[in-house]
Chain A
């Protein structure tokens, strides 16, 4: 199981990387952490004439606070955000999602931007980006542009990035005080891709009534999705809300596939249960945040 041959490029700037992508067109592929790409190449499910490795590009790593956001460089490893105190403090949903990504050896090399740009529909970080309305910073031949998460994921393993654009950073909004978060998923084994999963954020008012809710689902279709009707149903509810019903509502709008691991029906049923549990956790945390 050996990858097909390719030419290797290790640019040191975003501009250089974009030039290489422009030059080689659809023959070229961006290499970030490689934790999804290299297996695809080893299995010869994908072959690329040119690999453009972003690991030596300056300025793509690191976490910084900026204007109510936390900006995570695309090449920041998943393990770095998992252990970053600023992430834990200001974007707890990212911190909650990180331990679910593969295994620690994968997270040591896998990157935040790589996971989001790879856009695996069963991956955690794209769903987190959706839940938090993250903003993608994109570098391309015309310079930088920004894309909202809702406009970023277009299909399975496909984003609105052009062939010669790269994701350079992701901006996540800083949590507010009366907000709680949870990531919940069902996987065959610890670290496996989720059969179905959810990333939730819930805001409450001083009386514990939900004022805002975000429910992102993954593993249920070609892209991560927001369960808008369930979010609406949750807003305005108090502690007696029927979360089971909201969970079922959340999954009622999706049509997940059958595969060797689980039926689509299973994903809907189990998904409803874990959304209910995640909302309960997030709401409790949001209420706890009052003190």
Chain B
């Protein structure tokens, strides 16, 4: 069989598998790791639902083959928080501001926004909109999502201010 061994770290755990090269990172996370929080809504890189962190960078996991993640550190929506099921500031902001309805696109938004606010903790409105443009949502009309990013940014800024 045309299969290749691959090892990577997913949400802090070492993972090893032997897989077909055509398996995308998204399918690997879902089927081999049982991490079904990463969703596939287009499989051609246009909707952002499958966004994960690859060595800290937000990327579409449907556009990376799992074999390419050899040695990489992957973080999925399940791995953002300290404890399973506990929300981060970003996740809580999506809840608070009604940044989701059906929730299918939400993991991709949450991961993207997490990376965005880490790199740009005080975004203006234009930057927020541009950062969100890589993720599609069909339910919310984005209003709650804009609000969620603003709330999370403010909260993270406050936490940082308090820590210093």
Contacts and interface: CB of A to CB of B under 8 A. Distances in A.
Classify the interface of chain B: helix, strand, loop or mixed.
Answer: mixed
Interface in A25-44: 31, 34-35, 38-39, 41-43
Contact of B62 (A7, A42, A55): A42
B98 to A, nearest CB: 23
B67 interface: yes
B59 A105 contact: yes
B45 A7 contact: no
A203 B118 CA distance: 38
Interface residues of B, number: 33
A39 B50 CA distance: 14
Given A3-B22, A38-B45, A105-B51, A8 B60 contact: no
A39 B133 contact: no
B60 A106 contact: yes
B59 A8 contact: no
A201 interface: no
A190 interface: yes
Interface in A157-208: 189-191
**Centre residue among B44, B116, B129 by max chain A CB count within 10 A:** B44
B130 A5 contact: no
A53 B68 contact: yes
Given A39-B45, A106-B60, A2 B116 contact: no
Interface in B21-74: 21-22, 24, 27, 43-46, 48, 51, 54, 57-60, 62-65, 67-68, 70
Contact of A189 (B21, B44, B51, B133): B133
Interface of A: 1-8, 10, 31, 34-35, 38-39, 41-43, 51, 53, 55, 79, 99, 102-106, 108-109, 189-191
Given A2-B27, A105-B48, 4 more contacts: A8-B4, A42-B24, A51-B21, A103-B133
